[in-house]
Structure 1
């Protein structure tokens, strides 16, 4: 098999040399290792980041043995690698995606000719109206004071992903015994274990607004879905963004994804990162209307339609999706960075 190495020159946003906005410049490597599966139809989808008003993506290379194409998801404009191997893989292989990032500290920003109205609609796990309309009215929220909505979600939610009723589980140990009336940290773990058995979505990490409202424990997807349901119920457009947090230091591994949101008023998008504010309360004021430089965005939006994917809209898209004969297939992934 001929080894292919394609260089993709991503259109870069020119960053003003006179700007004093903090920024960070780093290399990012996204590695996916596929298992041999000869004779079975294999499909692979991997998000590809883009430049925008906040980040500059350059020197993007994709190094792999397998043939692929770059696709664009229509609703939100996200780009992704798509490969279909009808005869499968005779031997294990890697896909290495490498790119440079200049990421600016973000405040309020305008994003081209983006249609904000599409971000008023409900998503499959981000409903609009109903209980969220009732909450907004009961709390007397108004579009003129989105800080109140931000503070409400921050105060209602606990950051946590407890998977065992054990003090050795960091998230379990850090939660209060009683989360809210009728919800204990033990019941959060029980719910997780039961939901996982049936491959359900009513647990943390799915960006399920109803779960966040009922249980009040979750990760960044849950915090920001809750905020989006409330904002959209108030007729304030709100978007979902997902990528990776970049650790301090010169280089290293990256454990997993991170997500945030922004809302639209007066032809401007204002960012929020409520889960980071929960983890670092001293930065709570900053994360209402600002984002730090220690991140890269891979995609935005929910319920993405990907070419060749038959299981319906993708909830959110930051990790690879790999299938063999239409069923989820095993793979390994690794992410790392190096300061430039």
Structure 2
């Protein structure tokens, strides 16, 4: 059986695309793995238990109100969340941001509850995850069921991710006369991997400031993908920011020191396609696999930038992965956190 890379499907005329799509679909459905599970045996998956712990600390005496939010992971085509158990020091509710649909656990304390505190406000999430890799070579063609009326929000600038000025100029130079969306995205991705260095030294990194990384050419995953998103949008390619955690390769259990993020861009025939330029820069052997593909060693929590939390007064969040709190309407940043994974037996 010969498997066809899906990126080759898009090098033909409109008529050719339709015919090629039909051929790929027929080939895919003729195989037992596609007919039964839709997956190829070489697509890896990883099952693990995840714990997210967050506790507020140093709450000022005589405070009158406390609000705390913790993001919830999401089930997607690449990951399944099961057995969610939420343990909270106080009664909670689940709220959703209106722009992106991210969900959060929220607790609210009044002055009477604050003065009677026996334990600090805290929220713990325990749940099981099955995460699948996305392997471009073995992904059958499929017309996605996507609400295209919402794509405009993924073309609009955010506070720190802009698509004009030097961002637009660099993108135009990189793609030159290329008009194919997939090839444009790969040119942007390749240029970022080649010219931006994963480096968390100095000031300014980690904020996801597209202008900063366009100029300095260093940063972490937030910076890499802010540049990609800004440049994709400048070419009228919808793109979005995905936030989660990395799951270490090798250990079967352990704490996770911090977040990881990647990006997705929208293709009219394939739907949302991922890129992880920062990991590709750190691991050149994964460069091809991380364009329109992802490994299984991660978990997704939220998407988007400038996230507006219901009832929050501190303004939009740059991105959402860590706990957020307000005391008397002011941002509170003192927390104890722990993020832990354990591979399934």
Q: Same fold (TM over 0.5)?
A: yes
1:59-100 Cα shifts (integer Å, max 9, x gaps) = 001112211110011111110011121223623333211111
Q: How many positions carry a matched residue from both structures?
A: 287
Q: Is it true that 1:231 corresponds to 2:266 in the alignment?
A: no
| CA shift for structure 1 position 129 | 2.2
User: How far apart are the structure 1 equivalents of 2:305 and 2:173?
Assistant: 28
The 3 A distance-change label for structure 1 pair 66 and 273 is same
Question: SS of 1:75's equivalent?
Answer: coil
Match of 1:213 in 2: 214
Please tell me whether the aligned partners of residues 70 and 104 of structure 2 are also in contact (alpha carbons under 8 angstroms).
yes
Match of 2:46 among 2, 12, 24: 24
Match of 2:78 among 39, 54, 77: 54
Please tell me whether the aligned partners of residues 143 and 236 of structure 1 are also in contact (alpha carbons under 8 angstroms).
no
The 3 A distance-change label for structure 1 pair 329 and 212 is closer
1:93-130 Cα shifts (integer Å, max 9, x gaps) = 33211111111112568464363232111111001222
Please tell me whether the aligned partners of residues 242 and 262 of structure 2 are also in contact (alpha carbons under 8 angstroms).
yes
User: How far apart are the structure 1 equivalents of 2:189 and 2:58?
Assistant: 47
Is 30-39 or 51-60 further displaced after alignment?
30-39
Q: Is it true that 1:136 corresponds to 2:171 in the alignment?
A: yes
User: How far apart are the structure 2 equivalents of 1:302 and 1:122?
Assistant: 10
Is 230-239 or 100-109 further displaced after alignment?
100-109
Question: SS of 2:317's equivalent?
Answer: coil
Give unmatched runs, 5+ long, in structure 1: 1-15, 163-188, 193-202
TM-score w.r.t. the length of structure 1 is 0.80
Q: Is it true that 1:314 corresponds to 2:342 in the alignment?
A: no
Give unmatched runs, 5+ long, in structure 2: 1-35, 137-141
Alignment of 1:70-89 (within 5 A): 70-87=94-111, 88=114
User: How far apart are the structure 1 equivalents of 2:331 and 2:321?
Assistant: 19
Which stretches of structure 1, 4 residues or longer, exceed 6 Å deviation after superposition?
A: none
User: How far apart are the structure 2 equivalents of 1:36 and 1:209?
Assistant: 34
Question: SS of 1:49's equivalent?
Answer: coil
TM-score w.r.t. the length of structure 2 is 0.79
Q: Is it true that 1:289 corresponds to 2:317 in the alignment?
A: no
User: How far apart are the structure 2 equivalents of 1:105 and 1:305?
Assistant: 30
| CA shift for structure 1 position 222 | 0.2
Please tell me whether the aligned partners of residues 243 and 295 of structure 1 are also in contact (alpha carbons under 8 angstroms).
yes
Please tell me whether the aligned partners of residues 154 and 239 of structure 2 are also in contact (alpha carbons under 8 angstroms).
yes
1:230-286 Cα shifts (integer Å, max 9, x gaps) = 000000111100000001221111110000001111242111000000110111111
By percentage of residues, which structure has more helix? 2
Q: Is it true that 1:113 corresponds to 2:117 in the alignment?
A: no
Match of 2:127 among 74, 78, 99: 99
Match of 1:304 in 2: 307
User: How far apart are the structure 1 equivalents of 2:280 and 2:74?
Assistant: 26
Please tell me whether the aligned partners of residues 159 and 306 of structure 2 are also in contact (alpha carbons under 8 angstroms).
yes
Question: SS of 1:32's equivalent?
Answer: strand
Match of 2:29 in 1: none
Match of 1:331 among 319, 332, 335: 335
User: How far apart are the structure 2 equivalents of 1:126 and 1:137?
Assistant: 17
Match of 1:160 in 2: 199
Q: Is it true that 1:258 corresponds to 2:252 in the alignment?
A: no
Question: SS of 2:85's equivalent?
Answer: strand
Match of 1:124 among 152, 156, 159: 159
Match of 1:172 in 2: none
